[in-house]
Amino acid sequence: MYSTTATVPIRAASALPKAAARVPVVPGALRTAGLRASFVACNDIAQKNSNNGKRMFSSTPRAALKEFFPKVETKQIVDVESGWPHPVYTDKEMREIKYAHRKAQNWADWIALGMVRLLRWGMDTATGYRHPPEGKPLPKKFEMNECKWLTRFVFLESVAGVPGMSEKNEEGQWMGVFFNGFFISYLLSPRICHRFVGYLEEEAVLTYTRAIEELEAGKLPKWKDMDAPDIAVKYWKMPEGHRKMRDLLLYVRADEAKHREVNHTLSNLNHKTDPNPYVAKFRDTNKPRPSKGTDLVKPTGWERDEVI
């Protein structure tokens, strides 16, 4: 949605798949159509954590996987850069990201929130996760470890990624159904769909925040000194000395926080007439305005009268 010109209505501006703004062009099997960088990074880490060498989260043999964008080299070309360069986040900006919830204000908001809560219940059940009760420890069966967190991340990114993967694996079949359902829903009500994604990203920020807290508290020892995958280092332009698993989670959470803001903002606009404020030039440049980076994050989104 960031690459659309300022004169294009939101309906067209928001049509660019979310994954397109997040996934770089990378070599080998990682360059799979529709994959978000955070999804690929999680899967890469999952393979490193696997003791038996098998692929986690799928029973599809590697030989059956289709590579959509194999690396192409010519006499003069070594690699191809991403068409959607990622904004550079600072450590200070990422540390300031907080969980926030936008209260439902109308029937459309309640529909979107209800759908996210239903998905949340299903994901919690599938991944064995429960929010810790305030002031009380979690029952032992709900305590998280590295493998449980990765399973939850992949479930979360599978839903949030939306664009389909190879139809030859389980994730692709699930995402294909979700993508088509979301596409039809967007034709019917862009407002509800953007609010749905905004609420979904709120859950993502909460999930990654709790994982970061557990990692920093020493509850995830396998990740203490684990290096971030090369795809993550390249995509987020992670600087030297900040390329560990903790840093990766901070970057992913910052992405989710920005997508939370963007989708709540787009849901507040008139999708038939309003331009995309994230690529617009404003008359008054002295006021705070929507940006692509984390230099300014508005967790519950910008209201229409603030940007139009």
Domains of the chain, residue spans: 91-131+139-306
pLDDT of 59 > 70? The answer is: no
- pLDDT for res 199: 96
What pLDDT was estimated at residue 168?
A: 45
- Residues of the chain with pLDDT > 90: what percent? 41
Q: State residue 173's pLDDT score.
A: 62
Q: How far is CA 18 from the centre of its chain?
A: 8
* Record: fold of 91-131+139-306: Ferritin (1.20.1260)
Q: How would residue 139 be classed by pLDDT, with cut points 50, 70 and 90? A: confident
Overall average pLDDT of the 100-114 stretch: 95
Mean confidence (pLDDT) of the chain: 78
According to DSSP, the residues that pair with 14 across neighbouring strands are none
- pLDDT > 70: what percent of the chain? 69
Per-residue DSSP letter, 238: P
User: In which residue are the tokens 């008359």 written?
Assistant: 283
Residues of the binding site for Fe cation: 157, 170, 201, 256, 259
Question: Which amino acid, 169?
Answer: N
- Give CA separation, 216 vs 110, 209, 232, 249, in Å: 35, 11, 20, 11
CA separation for the pair 150, 39 (Å, rounded): 10
150-182, pLDDT tens digit by residue?
888 888 887 766 533 454 455 556 667 777 888
**30-34, 60-64, 259-263: range with lowest mean pLDDT:** 30-34
pTM over cut 0.85: no
- The closest of 22, 2, 19 to 266, measured between CA atoms, is 2
Position with higher pLDDT, 73 vs 34: 73
| 167 contacts 173 by C-beta, under 8 angstroms | yes
Rg (CA), the chain: 19
Can you say which residues are annotated as belonging to the binding site? Answer: 157, 170, 201, 256, 259
